[in-house]
Amino acid sequence: MTLREQVEQMLPGWMQWYPSLFDAAADLGLIRARVCPPGELLLSRRHADIQREAEDMHRERWGGGPKEEPPGA
């Protein structure tokens, strides 16, 4: 079920009271902001973490060992 469907199920006329789907969902407790350290807000770090996670999932599914370090690193 999508977020919109969940909000519409809980509050059918939500568009009359809320400027956005996200405001309604937050008030209904369907989504919640999470506090994170400032270092996690850097896009370069977030992209690196996502890339690493994708590589780990690929190795888990398709096999292969951990990535090798280049010589001299």
In this predicted model, which residue has the larger pLDDT, 65 or 14?
14
Residues 1, 26 within the same domain: yes
Residues 1, 28 within the same domain: yes
Which residue range(s) make up the domain with 28?
1-32
Query: What pLDDT score does 34 carry?
Result: 79
CA 4 to each of CA 8, 17, 66: distance values in angstroms, whole numbers, following the listed order: 6, 15, 40
pLDDT in tens, 29-60: 999 887 878 877 777 777 888 889 889 988 88
Residues 27, 1 within the same domain: yes
Examine residue 13 and state whether it is found in any structural domain, yes or no: yes
Q: Structural domain tally of the chain?
A: 2
8 A C-beta contact, residue 12 and residue 35: no
Examine residue 70 and state whether it is found in any structural domain, yes or no: no
